[in-house]
Structure 1
Amino acid sequence: MCEVQAVKDLDAVKLVGHLLQRTYGQQMADIWNVGLNLALRISDLLSIKFSDINSDRLTLREGKTGKLATIKLNEKARVVIDRIRAENPDHVYLFQSYRNRWSLNKGPKPLSRRYVSRAISSIGEEVGLALGTHSMRKTRGYHLYKNTRDIARVMKMLRHGSEAVTLRYIGITQDDVDRDFVELEL
């Protein structure tokens, strides 16, 4: 498995969303847009049930860490979630698979991680970026850090335990640090 990147250019973030919508449909674009705004691991993002969402807040237990994540939904995430709920009032999952509705005696399931991964990777190849399912989470962390320069805030949002892990995760490299020293003269 190759290392995936944060999307550092905001125009590229929009382009990826547009290409996902054009190539794979609205549901995949919604995954990208909600994923960018919630900064969850893909397994947690795909496991979101409508019952986990109460007004403007999402509450779920993270699969990897077992930590309770309580996330206040921003306007963009709320609009997308409300539209999905209105279009699919009988769905259990926010990103529910349509395959199972024709299967007899099968309950609803979310989209598979593999399908989402292939779609995002494919668009990454098209735009020349190493993209994967973690790119949404990394992109959110990267842009929060660039806007605030507050690594503690980014760590808290991503629920990381170490600054070094967070910096490496969001793609802050030694070149970025060197550039900061050169560009900021006091």
Structure 2
Amino acid sequence: MNVVEAVKTEGEAEVIARKLTKNARGNPLYADIWRFGVNTALRISDLLSLTFEDVAGDKLVIKESKTGKTRQIDLNSSAKRVVAERRQAHPDHTFLFQVDSNRSKGKAVSRVAVAGAFKAVGDELGIQLSTHSMRKTRGWLMYSGGVSIEKICRVLNHSSPAVTMAYIGLTQAEVDATYHEFVF
């Protein structure tokens, strides 16, 4: 099984968004998916099924396809900006992340296409990037910003803080460093 990485800084997350747009020849679709995904911490299957109707207000209520649990997500300014820009650019679309190709007209972008775009950027940057990196990045950025593991666990809808710690990639080296950071 391949190890998928979290992006460790907001600056690196922005570099990925810019490269996704550049690699798509100026089409912001994959960068918008990245930004919205990092801001909402949704799994790719739930993210790609969103319609404009789902994201019409300030809150998104979704029943997760993997867990069957209902989540309520307060859309932040960045997520709302993605929605507004996509709605303005594609007023006739049903899905938030819809493709316009003749073969897939009227359908949401495929998970395979998103995975390919993310992998290409990851290869370019030398990191293991996949569709799951958005959730991991959200968790890591929250953790490095001082948010408690318990709260991150709740945001990611994990069953325990231990799952969250493994999920975001808290390494032994980072644990070891705390012995030198906090000396009494």
1:137-156 Cα deviation digits (max 9, x unpaired)? 10000111111240011000
What is the aligned partner in structure 2 of residue 117 from structure 1? Answer: 115
Counterpart position of 1:129: 127
**Aligned equivalents of 1:73, 1:160: Cα separation in 2:** 20
The aligned residue for residue 140 of structure 1 is 138
Instruction: Give the structure-2-normalised TM-score.
Output: 0.94
Equivalent residue number for residue 7 of structure 2: 7
Pair 1:56-2:58 in alignment: yes
Equivalent residues, number: 182
Task: Give 1:153's match in structure 2, choosing from 142, 151, 154.
Answer: 151
Q: Give the partner amino acid of 1:177.
A: V
After the TM superposition, which segments of 4 or more aligned residues of structure 1 sit over 2 Å from their partners? Answer: none
Q: Which piece of structure 1 moves more, 157-166 or 140-149?
A: 140-149
The alpha-carbon deviation at position 165 of structure 1 amounts to 1.0
SS at match of 1:53: coil
Q: Secondary structure at the match of 2:71?
A: strand
Give how far 1:107 is off: 7.2
Counterparts of 1:84-123 in structure 2 under 5 Å?
84-99=86-101, 102=102, 108-123=106-121
1:35: which partner in 2? 37
Unaligned runs of 5+ in 1: none
* Alpha-carbon shift at residue 54 of structure 1 (Å): 3.5
The RMSD of aligned alpha carbons is 1.4
1:23 maps onto 2:23 in alignment: yes
- TM, length-normalised to structure 1: 0.93
**CA deviation after TM superposition for structure 1 residue 12, in Å:** 1.5
Aligned residues of 2:9 and 2:141 also touching (Cα < 8 A): no
Shift of 1:10: 2.6
**Identical residues among aligned pairs (%):** 42
Deviations 1:67-97 (A, max 9, x none): 1111000001101111111211111100012
Q: Name the aligned partner's letter for residue 64 of structure 1.
A: K
